[in-house]
Structure 1
Amino acid sequence: MKVLPVLLIQMLTCCSAEKHNLSGKMFTFPEESDTAHVVLSPDQSKSLTAVTMCLRFFSDLVRAQSLFSFATPESSNAFLLYKQANGVYEVDQNDKFVLFRALGENPNQWNSVCVTWNSENGIAQVWVNGKYSARKGINKGKEISGAPSIVLGQEQDTYGGKFDKAQSFVGMVTDIHMWDSVLPSSEILLYMSRIPQKIGGNVINWESLDFTLKEYVILEDQ
């Protein structure tokens, strides 16, 4: 008879996570570390066969750094956006990756980045400040499945952890959205132009976000 109240409390805790509208806000990562990160809780955890993820970042780092790390129990790099060097972006899908080059960003300025992937044809593409990359294939016919662990500021070498200071992000991040489909180029260009989206991300929505700050990360006004 005591089990039911406990289960009820767990259900209420699970389903009552507070969502925050972070319009005009940003996450600031002030220093290199192997601890500071933000955990994002997605609005859905179903298997994904297509993805569009967009964010804006501001950094002066010239070394490699993780921009968006999505892990599952089966794959620490289920979907990863990793900046290897200026203008060179790595996209991982279930531990396979492709590189996109000649996509220059502006140091010490806001940069808008979107990445898309479609399981049906395996095609991935990266957009930076309105410029789009070549289209490249990765893991055609695969999907992203399993309970997600989504982290900003670090790259997950294991599910939810094993961070490396040399891969950490230093700077500011804002306007993060993720969809379970490949957005048309017209919508991506609207995002790049900072024109409000018709519909925010249905997996991660910056205007309705459940998140947890870990260690030295600051939420502040842009």
Structure 2
Amino acid sequence: MQAIKKAISWKLFILSYLFVEGSCQDFGGGQTQFICTSVPKDVDICAATLQNSMPGENLKTTVMQLRETVLQQKETIMNQKETIRELTSKLTRCEGQSAPEPGPGGRRKETGTKNTMGDVSRGPSDTLAQLSQTLQSLKQRLENLEQFSRNNNSVQANSLKDLLQSKIDDLEKQVLSRVNSIEDGKPGMRNETEQRGRVESTLTSLHQRITDLEKGQKENRPLDKFQLTFPLRTNYMYAKVKKSLPEMYAFTVCMWLKSNASPGVGTPFSYAVPGQANELVLIEWGNNPMEILINDKVAKLPFIINDGKWHHICVTWTTRDGVWEAFQDGVMRGSGENLAPYHPIKPQGVLILGQEQDTLGGGFDATQAFVGDLANFHIWDRKLSIGEIYNLATCSSKAQIGNVFSWLESSIDIYGGASKWTFEACRQLN
């Protein structure tokens, strides 16, 4: 009954409206006719009247076209908003990101995300500095190859050297172009990822060609006369020792290092075992001093080595009372105790040079990667005497090699663009 009343009210309202306002359309003949039609509440009355007087199909087509136009404009606006958000996000990343704060023991705080770009997150100026450093490293290696080719009259080596030099010149032009783009208001930042991919691809190719060329030198050098070079902070450049360490109740680890990386030289080596990624680690990360980690316990070391010069460093440790000693260039610089006392170094782990492990054999973080040169890495399962360490640092003929691990090319595999080339520790002292 209520519905019938509403319908009658609607019809009366429409009829009175039409009589007051006049007709919506004159149908000719000089006489005005009024059409009484019930229409929904939200529909314009004149539009409803016109719909009855116009061809229905044309009106329907017009309405559909208008609706489609509105939807297209709405979609265009949404796409433009999304594009603006994406460009804003990319510009923010290009302007630089801050590195995470260090956690206890100089290690980073977990943020739930991992750097998957390969390089440490950095702004354009840092990227250009790293590229320049890489180019300088490649040039230095080419100079060594040039000297080698002169001594051996190698025509093939000379031709390859010229080709590589040309490619390095092209890379320098790309770096200069990126500098100009930044100075002109960063108009090329939208293509940052694409440009970076091209440069890194070229660098990888150069590293491979130079490595192939350097293989010609291996036949003319002893297996222990080499160094590893890590030119960039990445999470993919590293070297892996082919065998694990035995269980040890004492150890001495020694090596030659050269780096001018800042802040911190990174991680010269890390040893992880199942269930403990920080079984034995040497690391200098961020603004922290260099540290030795044993079973995730930390001792700060008094080393100062990031001056771009070669330094010989040794660390000794015994499980009894956790006593440790630190030597730089043959001189004891510090000592302590209570570093993981009565905890033997566990066997069946993975020994990595150049990266800090968060998981067994992986989980690398570019911000903790070693940048520089490393050579003559040796490990003993005992504490060396002060005299023995001095002999190592001064290249004495009485110097010994590690009985747990000794520095040989055949004992190491390299990955991700890290390189090997000839190194004589004693020539650095002359």
TM-score tier by shorter-chain length is 0.7 to 0.9
More divergent stretch after superposition (178-187 vs 73-82): 73-82
**CA–CA separation in structure 1 for the residues paired with 2:365 and 2:349:** 20
2:278 match: 77
Is 1:147 aligned to residue 348 of structure 2? Answer: yes
In the TM superposition, residue 125 of structure 1 has moved relative to its aligned partner by 1.6
**CA–CA separation in structure 2 for the residues paired with 1:83 and 1:73:** 24
**CA–CA separation in structure 2 for the residues paired with 1:183 and 1:85:** 30
Q: Deviations over 1:77-111 (max 9, x none)?
A: 1111112468932010011111123x333611111
Flag structure 1 segments of 5+ consecutive residues without an equivalent: 1-19
1:38 match: 239
**CA–CA separation in structure 2 for the residues paired with 1:180 and 1:174:** 19
Contact 2:392/2:400 (<8 A) preserved: no
Contact 1:51/1:118 (<8 A) preserved: yes
Q: Deviations over 1:153-194 (max 9, x none)?
A: 111111111111011111111011000011011101111112
1:6 match: none
Contact 1:68/1:82 (<8 A) preserved: yes
1:130 match: 330
2:313 match: 113
Q: Which is richer in strand?
A: 1
2:128 match: none
| Structure 1 residue matching 2:387: 3-state secondary structure | helix
Contact 2:248/2:345 (<8 A) preserved: yes
2:378 match: 177
Flag structure 2 segments of 5+ consecutive residues without an equivalent: 1-220, 424-430
2:416 match: 215
Is 1:104 aligned to residue 295 of structure 2? Answer: no
Distance 1:160 1:110, change over 3 A: same
| Structure 1 residue matching 2:246: 3-state secondary structure | coil
**CA–CA separation in structure 2 for the residues paired with 1:24 and 1:50:** 27
Identity %: 26
| Structure 1 residue matching 2:334: 3-state secondary structure | coil
**CA–CA separation in structure 2 for the residues paired with 1:79 and 1:195:** 28
Distance 1:56 1:170, change over 3 A: same
2:256 match: 56
**CA–CA separation in structure 2 for the residues paired with 1:196 and 1:165:** 38
**CA–CA separation in structure 1 for the residues paired with 2:413 and 2:308:** 26
Q: Which is richer in helix?
A: 2
2:293 match: 92
| Structure 1 residue matching 2:224: 3-state secondary structure | coil
CA RMSD of aligned residues (A): 2.1
Contact 1:105/1:129 (<8 A) preserved: no
**CA–CA separation in structure 2 for the residues paired with 1:62 and 1:197:** 35
Q: For residue 140 of structure 1, what is the amino acid of its counterpart?
A: P
Structure label with greater radius of gyration: 2
| Structure 2 residue matching 1:205: 3-state secondary structure | coil
Q: Deviations over 1:24-47 (max 9, x none)?
A: 2111112110011000134x6421
Q: For residue 293 of structure 2, what is the amino acid of its counterpart?
A: D
Q: Deviations over 1:4-30 (max 9, x none)?
A: xxxxxxxxxxxxxxxx95332111112
**CA–CA separation in structure 2 for the residues paired with 1:115 and 1:66:** 15
The partner residue of 1:29 within 205, 213, 230 is 230
Count residues in correspondence: 201
In the TM superposition, residue 57 of structure 1 has moved relative to its aligned partner by 1.1
**CA–CA separation in structure 2 for the residues paired with 1:130 and 1:88:** 19
Distance 1:189 1:86, change over 3 A: farther
